[in-house]
């Protein structure tokens, strides 16, 4: 059942795995943006998470601790952003960019001496008997735990944002920080926690790249994944399930173009490797067209700093 | 407890004091960073900030300053115009690459013709390439309301792929023994961006940067378009009532910044870099963002900031060769500078007050 040398079952199974980094980062950023904060430093937090996770995993020999390390590294870096925008009230766009530049610099500085090392391997979660089943085996049962974690987080965030008190508070802060403040919520403190959560998620996403996808440390390992995650949040209209859809679509395109490169489709390699970025642009255009003004689903206070004057 | 209080009007003192204070704080924090890496912080700071100007090799390194500052200033001025109007062109790196490819293609297409018109046409082609690449996010923004930050950034990755294709494919030197990279412009006088005055490192790119700074200053302070840019950034609603056309403003700001980035790319590839290679671009497009903010989005401030940033590049290279400091440390250092700048900037619009008792 191959189409032009590409097996659809394997394709679906691989796209689910290859979507994990951007899915996790985009889910984190969704929460951050729903709280009214635009953190453009996702790329920086991912790359720091990739390095932090890699270092911890290599030294401890445990991939699980590695992912934890990635989360901590991403959250720590995001706290710089949180301090600058929530305490010093700096421009969020500029600070986010600075975070990305800084993160890329720190990671390439800290990553020296880690090139060419293999991290401890993460195996599939479920027993081989299930994973060997035809069709459903590779797609449903054959993954490592992070893939299931990413799907679980999608459902969890959907539920938290939609049905819980915490979700309501986060959305209130993002839609109208003045009103939330008047109700007695500590706007900047809530935003700070959301930013740290977003940093941790981006960090885990980055660690997935260096521990499972690649798996080794390469300078600039994220190659724009953080920016694509930001685009997916817009594509998803700030809704978790649509983030999942967007990330899988994107993962599918990435895997497909890699498969086409290997299969020797006759399309030049350069044009194939441009495809993910061009398709992201195309999707952004389709999503933003016809939704001028307020009705595009963006949180109303997105990107605005809050200073309690009273 | 300290608490922030909004100033009735922005402080003029802190507007100008912020960059120097941020530089000093960065030196302190950078010194601590270098110390943890096992280097003598005072030696490193001196190598970066003092030796290129007054050290034993200053006669050569001073020239390198303008070589590095030129493209940074050129790009940063374009970005600053947009940033002032609230238009965020983050993809200058891509526009820089496309300017270099367009300009170099023109020069290489007519190789080895000798005519004094070749270089001017290359300059036009470079500016056009950058302008064209910036028009993609501009038009998508005005037609479809697409986020220009994300689109311009995605296009950087696309431009890098095109650059790889150019260096290994359509612009590859046919006499290059199969090595990637185009013909070297240093062997093609009609298309070369040669030094006008070598001791200062002055080539046409440096001239363009300084002239652009003056023109941009005049535009912002004396011209209707400059007024509209400032108005749109500070009071978007007022700008609409004033009759500012947002579509034209986006096209104007993105176009100028793209063309300037393209120019910088052309001057670099035909001059100091010499040829199209896979990695001839060195991240000027991203560093220019720091330069624009460090210069307070003011063209004359950007000139100063460009030289300061060039100093960290030149000094950083010195520190890399003589003290073994990793080049990535300089990138971290530049990132820290922007952080401190953004943090200290709070004092322009706010002041710290001691909260006394209950209020």
CA gap A43, A21 in Å, rounded = 11
pLDDT at res. A299: 85
pLDDT at res. A284: 85
Which chain B residues in 331-350 lie under 8 Å from chain A, judged by CB atoms?
331-336, 338-339, 342-343, 345-346, 349-350
CA gap B76, B95 in Å, rounded = 13
Which span out of A99-103, B31-35, B95-99, B172-176 was modeled with the highest average pLDDT? B95-99
Partner residue facing B164 (CB), from A104, A270, A281: A270
Mean pLDDT for B111-115 is: 81
Partner residue facing B342 (CB), from A40, A95, A231: A95
Between the CA of residue B132 and those of A138, B167, B257, B265, what are the distances in Å? 45, 20, 11, 14
At residue B268, φ and ψ (nearest 5 deg) are -70, -45
CA gap B51, B72 in Å, rounded = 21
Architecture of domain B73-317: Orthogonal Bundle (1.10)
Mean pLDDT for B5-26 is: 87
CA gap A296, A302 in Å, rounded = 12
Partner residue facing A234 (CB), from B6, B147, B169: B147
Please check whether residue A274 touches B, CB under 8 A.
Answer: yes
CA gap A19, A154 in Å, rounded = 13
Residue A234, CA atoms < 13 Å, CB-side half-sphere: 26
The chain-wide mean pLDDT, for chain A, equals 87
For the stretch B329-341, pLDDT in tens is 888 888 898 899 8
Out of A101-110, B96-105, B112-121, B125-134, least confident range: B112-121
Mean pLDDT for B24-28 is: 92
At residue B175, φ and ψ (nearest 5 deg) are -105, 25
| B30 contacts: CB under 8 Å, gap ≥ 6 | B41, B44, B45, B333, B336
CA gap A235, A256 in Å, rounded = 20
pLDDT at res. A5: 63
Rg (CA), chain B: 22
Provide the shortest C-alpha distance from residue A71 to chain B (in Å): 21
The chain-wide mean pLDDT, for chain B, equals 88
Please check whether residue A275 touches B, CB under 8 A.
Answer: no
Out of A43-47, A177-181, B194-198, B309-313, least confident range: B194-198
How high is the ipTM of this complex?
Answer: 0.85
Q: Which two tokens stand for residue B92?
A: 């200058």
Q: Which helix (H) or strand (E) holds B4?
A: strand B2-6
Which chain A residues in 91-120 lie under 8 Å from chain B, judged by CB atoms?
91, 93-95, 97-98, 101-106, 108-109, 112
Q: Which two tokens stand for residue B136?
A: 């993609």
Out of A11-15, A72-76, A153-157, least confident range: A11-15
**pTM passes above 0.90:** no
Provide the shortest C-alpha distance from residue B211 to chain A (in Å): 27
Residue B32 CB burial class (10 angstroms; 0-12, 13-18, ≥19): exposed
Asked if A270 lies within 8 A of B349 by C-beta distance, the reply is no
Cβ–Cβ < 8 Å for A78, A204 = no
Which chain B residues in 291-330 lie under 8 Å from chain A, judged by CB atoms?
293, 326, 328-330
Query: A297 or B312: which carries more pLDDT confidence?
Result: B312
CA closest to B88 among chain A residues = A93
Share of chain B above pLDDT 90, in %: 34
**Chain B residues in contact with A227 (beta carbon < 8 A):** 150, 153-154
CA closest to B285 among chain A residues = A101
Which chain A residues in 28-87 lie under 8 Å from chain B, judged by CB atoms?
40, 80, 83-84
pLDDT at res. B358: 47
Which span out of A205-209, B55-59, B86-90, B322-326 was modeled with the highest average pLDDT? A205-209
Torsion of CA B275, B278, B282, B284, to 10 degrees: 80
pLDDT at res. A159: 96
Interface probe for A, chosen from B88, B161, B329 (most Cβ of A below 10 Å), is B161
CA gap B106, B201 in Å, rounded = 25
- Chain-centroid distance of CA A297 in Å reads 20
Which has the closest alpha carbon to A75: A149, A55, A67, B32?
A67
Query: B282 or B313: which carries more pLDDT confidence?
Result: B313
**Chain B residues in contact with A278 (beta carbon < 8 A):** 154, 158
User: Token match 């986060």: residue?
Assistant: A170
**Chain A residues in contact with B289 (beta carbon < 8 A):** 94, 97, 101
| A204 contacts: CB under 8 Å, gap ≥ 6 | A24, A49, A53, A67, A70, A71, A74, A146
User: Token match 């900047």: residue?
Assistant: A188
Q: Does domain A8-291 have CATH number 1.10.10?
A: no
Partner residue facing B286 (CB), from A101, A234, A274: A101
Query: B75 or A131: which carries more pLDDT confidence?
Result: B75
Q: Where are the domains of chain A?
A: 8-291
Provide the shortest C-alpha distance from residue A44 to chain B (in Å): 11
CA dihedral over B284, B286, B287, B289, signed as positive or negative: positive
Please check whether residue B88 touches A, CB under 8 A.
Answer: yes
**Chain A residues in contact with B92 (beta carbon < 8 A):** none
CA closest to B342 among chain A residues = A90
pLDDT score of B302 more than 70? yes
For the stretch B153-176, pLDDT in tens is 889 989 999 998 888 888 888 877
Which has the closest alpha carbon to A213: A105, A113, A119?
A119
pLDDT at res. A2: 61
CA gap B181, B164 in Å, rounded = 9
pLDDT at res. A245: 92
CA gap A216, A35 in Å, rounded = 34
Which chain A residues in 127-156 lie under 8 Å from chain B, judged by CB atoms?
none
pLDDT score of A6 more than 80? no
For residue B5, the cross-strand partners are B351
pLDDT at res. A295: 47
pLDDT score of A63 more than 60? yes
Q: Which two tokens stand for residue A91?
A: 């421009």
Cβ–Cβ < 8 Å for B155, B137 = yes
CA gap B32, B215 in Å, rounded = 40
Can you give chain A as a three-state secondary structure string?
CCECCECHHHHHHHHHHHCHHHHHHHHHHHHHHHCCCCCCCHHHHHHHHHHHHHHHHHHHCCHHHHHHHHHHHHHHHHHHHHHHHHHCCCCHHHHHHHHHHHHHHHHHHHCCCCECCCCCCCCCCCCHHHHCCCCHHHHHHCCCHHHHHHHHHHHHHHHHHHHCHHHHHHHHHHHCHHHHHHCCCCHHHHHHHHHHHHHHHHHHHHHHHHHHHCCCECCCCCCCHHHHHHHHHHHCCCCHHHHHHHHHHHHHHHHHHHHHHHHCCCCCHHHHHHHHHHHHHHHHHHHHCCCCHHHHCCCCCCCCCCCCCC
pLDDT at res. A102: 92
pLDDT at res. A292: 55
pLDDT score of A266 more than 80? no
Provide the shortest C-alpha distance from residue B225 to chain A (in Å): 24
Asked if A227 lies within 8 A of B144 by C-beta distance, the reply is no
For the stretch A187-212, pLDDT in tens is 999 999 999 999 999 999 999 999 99
Cβ–Cβ < 8 Å for B244, B228 = yes
pLDDT at res. A1: 52
Q: Which two tokens stand for residue A105?
A: 């610099």
For the stretch A124-172, pLDDT in tens is 777 777 777 777 777 778 788 999 999 999 999 999 999 999 999 999 9
Provide the shortest C-alpha distance from residue B274 to chain A (in Å): 24
pLDDT score of B137 more than 50? yes
CA gap A185, A179 in Å, rounded = 9
**Chain B residues in contact with A224 (beta carbon < 8 A):** 153-154, 157
Which has the closest alpha carbon to A15: A217, A259, A229?
A259
pLDDT score of A94 more than 90? no
Asked if A285 lies within 8 A of B165 by C-beta distance, the reply is no
CA gap A304, B15 in Å, rounded = 21
Asked if A227 lies within 8 A of B153 by C-beta distance, the reply is yes
Query: A204 or B205: which carries more pLDDT confidence?
Result: A204
pLDDT score of B38 more than 60? yes
Rg (CA), chain A: 20
Please check whether residue B162 touches A, CB under 8 A.
Answer: yes
Assign residue A216 a region (left: φ > 0; alpha: ψ between -120 and 50; beta: otherwise). beta
Share of chain A above pLDDT 70, in %: 95
Interface probe for A, chosen from B8, B339, B345, B350 (most Cβ of A below 10 Å), is B339
Asked if A309 lies within 8 A of B6 by C-beta distance, the reply is yes
Asked if B154 lies within 8 A of A102 by C-beta distance, the reply is no
For residue B351, the cross-strand partners are B5
Interface probe for B, chosen from A105, A219, A310 (most Cβ of B below 10 Å), is A105
């Amino acid at each position: 059942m191959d189409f032009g040398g590409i097996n659809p079952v394997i394709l679906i199974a691989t796209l689910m795995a290859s979507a994990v980094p951007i899915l996790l980062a985009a889910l984190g950023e969704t929460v951050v943006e729903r709280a009214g904060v635009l953190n453009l430093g996702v790329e920086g937090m991912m790359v720091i998470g990739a390095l932090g996770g890699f270092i911890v995993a290599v030294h401890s020999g445990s991939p699980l601790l590695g992912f934890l390390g990635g989360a901590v590294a991403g959250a720590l870096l995001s706290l710089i952003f949180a301090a600058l925008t929530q305490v010093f009230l700096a421009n969020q766009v500029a600070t986010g960019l600075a975070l990305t530049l800084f993160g890329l610099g720190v990671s390439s500085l800290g990553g020296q001496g880690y090139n060419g090392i293999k991290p401890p391997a993460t195996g599939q979660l479920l027993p081989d008997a299930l994973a060997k089943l035809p069709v459903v085996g590779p797609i449903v049962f054959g993954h490592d735990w992070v893939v299931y974690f990413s799907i679980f987080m999608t459902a969890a965030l959907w539920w938290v944002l939609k049905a819980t008190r915490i979700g309501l508070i986060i959305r209130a802060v993002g839609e109208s920080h003045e009103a939330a403040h008047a109700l007695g919520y500590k706007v900047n403190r809530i935003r700070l926690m959301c930013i740290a959560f977003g940093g941790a998620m981006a960090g885990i996403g980055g660690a997935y790249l260096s521990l499972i996808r690649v798996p080794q440390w390469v300078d600039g390992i994220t190659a724009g994944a953080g920016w694509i995650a930001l685009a997916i949040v817009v594509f998803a209209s700030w809704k978790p399930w649509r983030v999942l859809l967007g990330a899988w679509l994107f993962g599918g395109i990435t895997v497909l173009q890699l498969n086409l490169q290997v299969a020797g489709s006759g399309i030049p390699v350069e044009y194939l490797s441009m495809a993910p970025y061009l398709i992201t642009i195309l999707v952004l255009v389709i999503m933003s067209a016809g939704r001028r003004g307020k009705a595009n689903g963006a949180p109303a206070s997105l990107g605005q700093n809050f200073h309690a004057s009273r | 407890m300290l608490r922030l209080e909004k100033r009735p009007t922005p402080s003029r003192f802190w507007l100008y004091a912020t960059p120097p204070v941020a530089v000093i704080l960065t030196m302190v924090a950078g010194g601590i960073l270098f110390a943890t890496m096992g280097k003598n912080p005072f030696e490193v700071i001196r190598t970066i900030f003092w030796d290129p100007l007054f050290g034993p090799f200053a006669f050569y390194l001073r020239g390198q300053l303008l070589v590095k500052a030129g493209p940074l200033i050129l790009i940063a001025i374009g970005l600053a115009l947009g940033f002032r109007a609230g238009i965020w062109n983050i993809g200058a790196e891509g526009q820089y690459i496309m300017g270099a490819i367009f300009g170099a293609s023109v020069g290489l297409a007519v190789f080895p013709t000798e005519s004094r018109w070749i270089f001017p046409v290359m300059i036009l082609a470079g500016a056009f390439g950058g302008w064209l690449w910036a028009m993609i996010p501009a038009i998508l923004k005005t037609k479809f309301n697409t986020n220009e930050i994300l689109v311009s950034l995605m296009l950087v990755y696309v431009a890098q792929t095109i650059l790889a294709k150019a260096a290994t494919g359509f612009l590859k030197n046919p006499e290059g023994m199969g090595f990637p990279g185009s013909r070297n412009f240093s062997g093609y006088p009609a298309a070369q961006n040669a030094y006008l005055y070598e001791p200062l490192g002055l080539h046409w790119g440096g001239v363009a940067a300084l002239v652009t700074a003056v023109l941009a200053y005049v535009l912002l302070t004396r011209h209707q378009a400059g007024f509209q840019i400032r108005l749109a950034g500070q009071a978007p609603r007022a700008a609409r009532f004033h009759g500012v056309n947002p579509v034209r403003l986006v096209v104007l700001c993105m176009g100028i910044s793209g063309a300037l980035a393209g120019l910088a790319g052309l001057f670099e590839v035909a001059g100091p870099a010499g040829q199209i290679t896979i990695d001839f671009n060195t991240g000027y497009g991203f560093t220019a963002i720091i330069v624009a903010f460090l210069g307070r989005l003011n063209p004359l401030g950007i000139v100063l900031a460009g030289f300061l940033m060039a100093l960290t590049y030149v000094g950083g290279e010195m520190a890399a060769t003589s003290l073994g400091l990793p080049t990535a440390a300089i990138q971290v250092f530049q990132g820290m500078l922007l952080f401190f700048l953004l943090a200290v900037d709070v004092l322009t619009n706010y002041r710290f007050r001691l909260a006394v008792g209950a209020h």
